[in-house]
Structure 1
Amino acid sequence: MSHESLGVIFINACLVNNFVLAYFLGICPFLGVSAKRQTALGMGAAVTLVMTVSSVAASGIHTLLVCLDAPYLQLISFIAVIASMVQLVEMFIKKVSPSLFRSLGIFLPLITTNCAILAVALFQTNRGYDWLQSIVFAIGAGVGFTLALVLMAGIREKLELAHPPDLVKGTALTLIIAGLLSICFMGFAGLMG
């Protein structure tokens, strides 16, 4: 069991070791869904929900598999839980907000293969977090993921009004912005000094 406080775990997952901007996990939806803030916010909320529920399930599965002396089943069990949760979230979003469902497109079912979600489950078990710490870690990681998406979307919306040189239009400019955001988030490393 880790002895970190809940606040430290949250800040660490959200800012200091942001899954997108520090670990470079979940880059596909980060670059693909971050054109509009509303879409980015919806994707961030969906990922946060999947992360949190998967984290709770992963904590229980890890405990059960350790008791059964079958930790080798951990990875496949986590993937099955994540895939099931994504299906439920996808059905929920399709029913509640068809416009968000359409705007997320292929990126919504691809949450299943989002390595950031699997990383949350694996990191928390490797760090020995208890049930409550796992939830705080997952929520922090989800908030950090959402923050990265919304920041990128806000910048990209503002850039629609700019006239950048032809050399950096499109993907090149998006990657430059992503790199600069990542460098900016490196400044949070001093928080956990």
Structure 2
Amino acid sequence: MDEWTVFLSAAFVNNVVLAKFLGLCPFMGVSKNIDSALGMGLATTFVITVAALAAWLLERFVLLPLDLQVLRTLSFIVVIASVVQVTELYIQKNSPTLYQSLGVFLPLITTNCAVFGVALLVVQQQLSFLTTVMFSLGSALGFTAVIVIFSGMRIQLSLSRVPQSLAGNPIAFITAGLLSMAFMGFAGMA
């Protein structure tokens, strides 16, 4: 598969949120406002891409040569936490309003299973460096696209009459399921 196919597949067909069900906490928690969703998506895009590349480099040049794959999980968590800390400091300094709107969800990117999942998928699938770049960037931008689209849908839902028993998270999960089915349509494209 060429790199662009990997990119498009990761973004749409095998979307980390809608196909792999990773990163649902920020997906549900930050998607009530488009600005917050976009900010979270862009921050997560940066973290997923940099963390996956760092994980690939760490795996290829440290863990494999020294036969230390047993430390993979621990070392990936340290890498992800470091990238998130740098991202958080940058956002806090350059966009205090975005920092305030993201609240607790920004430091929680460290525990976002989408970030860790993409890093693990990259090394488990033994992708080349260029394919890793395209896969991680596609996964990250797919995450951002889905969280922003879902945010717009949630805003429309808040303006609609929804039965009391479905109000709030139940209708949000039903909508997420419908969005997931819509994205499954990309799988049939050649």
TM-score range, shorter chain: over 0.9
**Would you say 1:28 and 2:31 are equivalent positions?**
no
Question: In the TM superposition, what is the alpha-carbon distance from 1:5 to its structure 2 partner?
Answer: 0.8
Q: Which moved more, 1:121-130 or 1:157-166?
A: 157-166
| 1:159 positional shift | 2.1
1:158 to partner: Cα distance: 1.7
CA RMSD of aligned residues (A): 1.0
CA distance in 1, matches of 2:28, 2:171: 11
Q: Residue 11 in 1 paired to residue 8 in 2?
A: yes
Alignment of 1:25-174 (within 5 A): 25-63=22-60, 64-174=62-172
Count, aligned residues:
189
1:120 shift after superposition = 0.7
| TM-score, scaled to structure 2 | 0.96
Q: TM-score, normalised by structure 1?
A: 0.95
SS of structure 1 residue aligned to 2:159:
coil
Rounded Cα–Cα distance in structure 2 between residues aligned with 1:11 and 1:67: 32
Identity among equivalent pairs (%): 47
Match in the other structure for 1:181: 179
User: For 1:96 and 1:42, how far apart are their aligned partners in 2?
Assistant: 12
Distance 1:159 1:67 in 2: 52
In the TM superposition, residue 163 of structure 1 has moved relative to its aligned partner by: 1.9
- Matched to 1:155, the amino acid is M
Q: Is the 8 A contact 1:33 1:39 kept in 2?
A: yes
Give secondary structure in 1 for the equivalent of 2:64.
helix
Offset of residue 17 of structure 1: 0.5
Q: Is the 8 A contact 1:34 1:149 kept in 2?
A: yes
Instruction: Please list every run of at least 4 consecutive aligned residues from structure 1 whose deviation after the TM superposition is greater than 4 angstroms.
Output: none
SS in 1 for 2:126: coil
Q: Is contact 1:14-1:140 (8 Å) kept? A: yes
List per-residue Cα deviations over 1:65-95 (Å, max 9, x = no partner).
1111211111111110000110111111111
How far apart, in 2, do the equivalents of 1:97 and 1:19 lie? 27
Question: 1:27 and 1:55 mapped to 2: Cα distance?
Answer: 19
Deviation digits for residues 168-188 of structure 1, max 9, x if unmatched? 111111111111111111111
Distance (whole Å) between structure 1 residues aligned to residue 112 and residue 72 of structure 2: 17
Q: Is the 8 A contact 1:16 1:185 kept in 2?
A: yes
Q: Secondary structure at the match of 1:67?
A: coil
AA in 2 matched with 1:130:
S
Q: Mind listing any 5+ residue stretches in structure 2 that lack a counterpart?
A: none
AA paired with 1:179?
Answer: G
CA contact (8 A) 1:39 1:103 kept: yes
Unaligned runs of 5+ in 1: none
Q: What is the alpha-carbon distance in structure 2 between the residues aligned to residue 50 and residue 180 of structure 1?
A: 27
